[in-house]
Amino acid sequence: MSTELKKALYNISALADLGQEITSENAFHEKIQAVFYVITGTFLANKGAILSYDRSSKKLDTLTKKGFTSTDLEQLAPEELMPLSKNEPCLIKDAPFLAVVGAEVLVPLWVRDQFIGALLLGGKLTAGPYTPEDLELLKIIATQIAITLNHHSLFMDLSDKLEENQRLYEEMRRIYHGTLQAFAAAIDAKDAYTQNHSHRVAKYSAAIARELGWNDHDIEGIYVAGYLHDVGKLAISNDLLNKVAPFTPEERAEIRKHSTLSHNIAVKINFPWKNVEDMVWHHHERLDGQGYPDALVREGISDGVRIITLADSFDAMTSQRPYRKKMDVQTALAELRKCLDSQFDNKIMLVLCRVLDKEIKGELPEPEILPNLDKNSDLSIISSLLEGIIVELSATQSPA
């Protein structure tokens, strides 16, 4: 497994686990300690510390540390850290006072306009510098830790207020999704032609599941799976992902590894939703058994996989790719229709068409698909096509 993929695995796993444990006061310090060890291990830092800011005393308290002495950390003054950019890694060359402390990089932790504390790391055990990729990952982690520390403080102060606790839980949940979105953006950034692809697949999949009558918890699960379905591409070279010429058999095999790599990441995360790793792993399977990685056939393919497969293909068709121009909506629908019962599921296609038809007619409060399609599309033509497909596919469905 590549170093880049290992970093993604460690950080996604740690952040997901942290997000689930934040409401448990008993596990708070143990969890902060565990995440701290993951951070120092991931960046191969020879020392580090997580500090929290006490608003009443206006001092920094040490939550956990390794390598730094108490005397080292006492030299950090909150007033020196507050002017630094919020949640942005600051290197020793930009803040000479770090040399006095013995730190190589420091991230001031903020939530909105509240200074929360700081994350410090020493130099790397390899003696190499922190790369731009390291700093980008560190920024994502620091933002999550800031939210975590802030929530811990608020939970301690408001533990008897159930309504307020629920609000904080929902905020934590949104931040958790924001963290997943940040990783999805890192995936999409590797391929210049698939910007926001993971975001759209997540939204399309959730919209289809909602129309199918899934409960809110399971809808959230497929939404997360949509975001992470291509996370394995972090291990695929940029040159291969952006190649314009046809793939060689060897290159095609390499590209196909991404679904298994994605599964290897997802299976390590203790998701609160069922089947996320299955949906991530098998989103390139086909009903006729010609898909990958396991050549599953019909009954072996869950509805969640069938939804993400269709959403992924529909977005790929309606997006620009290095090897072809994007299709208009009518052409994409016709292509999906042509592959029904061999690649795509009739029922899922019917539901996709119903959702899009309702969005065009203004029957849904929050459109999820239509805003992402070509603004120059002739909606009257699309609507007419959708109505025809809906009538055709409805006749093939068995009564409930």
pTM of the model: 0.59
Statement to judge: residues 209 and 148 lie in one domain: no
Per the document, the length of the chain is 400
Q: What percent of the chain has pLDDT over 70?
A: 81
The answer to whether position 399 is within a domain reads no
Question: Is residue 358 pLDDT above 50, yes or no?
Answer: yes
Report the C-alpha gap between 377 and 238 in whole angstroms. Answer: 32
Question: Is residue 173 pLDDT above 70, yes or no?
Answer: no
Lowest mean pLDDT among 172-181, 330-339, 386-395: 172-181
Kindly state the helix (H) or strand (E) to which residue 309 belongs, with its residue range. Answer: helix 303-317
What amino acid occupies position 148?
T
Interstrand relation of 105-111 and 90-91 (parallel, antiparallel or unpaired): antiparallel
Looking at every residue in the chain, the average pLDDT score rounds to 82
The answer to whether position 368 is within a domain reads yes
pLDDT value, residue 156: 61
What amino acid occupies position 373?
L
Task: State the total domains in the chain.
Answer: 2
**What phi, psi does 98 have (nearest 5°)?**
-65, -30
Statement to judge: residues 259 and 179 lie in one domain: no
pLDDT value, residue 306: 96
Statement to judge: residues 253 and 310 lie in one domain: yes
Statement to judge: residues 289 and 375 lie in one domain: yes
Q: Which residue has the higher pLDDT, 399 or 307?
A: 307
Report the C-alpha gap between 33 and 35 in whole angstroms. Answer: 6
The answer to whether position 117 is within a domain reads yes
Residues 6+ apart with CB under 8 A from 135: 89, 105
For residue 162, give both structure tokens: 């159930």
Q: Which residue has the higher pLDDT, 152 or 18?
A: 152
Tell me if 142 sits within 8 A of 174, measured CB to CB: no
Mean pLDDT of 267-285: 86
Domain ranges, residue 368: 192-394
pLDDT value, residue 376: 81
pLDDT value, residue 349: 95
For residue 113, give both structure tokens: 């306009």
The answer to whether position 294 is within a domain reads yes
Statement to judge: residues 216 and 78 lie in one domain: no
Lowest mean pLDDT among 1-5, 176-180, 243-247: 1-5
Q: What percent of the chain has pLDDT over 90?
A: 30
- pLDDT tens-digit series, residues 9-68: 555 555 545 544 444 555 677 778 878 888 888 888 999 999 989 888 889 989 889 999
Question: Is residue 400 pLDDT above 50, yes or no?
Answer: no
The answer to whether position 257 is within a domain reads yes
For residue 56, give both structure tokens: 């009443």
Mean pLDDT of 149-177: 64
How buried is residue 297: exposed, middle or buried, by Cβ count under 10 Å (0-12/13-18/19+)?
middle
Mean pLDDT of 244-249: 81
Residues 6+ apart with CB under 8 A from 294: 282, 285
Q: What is the CATH number of the domain that holds 263?
A: 1.10.3210.10
Report the C-alpha gap between 248 and 48 in whole angstroms. Answer: 46
Helix axis angle for 329-338 and 346-360, nearest 10°, is 160
Lowest mean pLDDT among 262-271, 293-302, 306-315, 334-343: 262-271
Statement to judge: residues 125 and 262 lie in one domain: no
Domain end call among 185, 201, 232: 185
CA–CA–CA angle 319, 320, 321 (5° rounding): 115
- pLDDT tens-digit series, residues 304-338: 999 999 999 999 898 876 666 788 899 999 999 99
Tell me if 228 sits within 8 A of 198, measured CB to CB: yes
pLDDT value, residue 22: 47
Statement to judge: residues 106 and 130 lie in one domain: yes
pLDDT value, residue 323: 60
pLDDT band at 396 (very low <50, low <70, confident <90, very high): confident
Q: What is the CATH number of the domain that holds 118?
A: 3.30.450.40
The answer to whether position 400 is within a domain reads no
Lowest mean pLDDT among 38-52, 177-191, 224-238, 284-298: 177-191
Lowest mean pLDDT among 66-70, 126-130, 158-162: 158-162
Q: How many CB atoms lie within 10 A of CB 97?
A: 14
Domain end call among 128, 152, 185: 185
Domain end call among 133, 166, 185: 185
Q: Which residue has the higher pLDDT, 303 or 3?
A: 303
What amino acid occupies position 109?
L
The answer to whether position 365 is within a domain reads yes
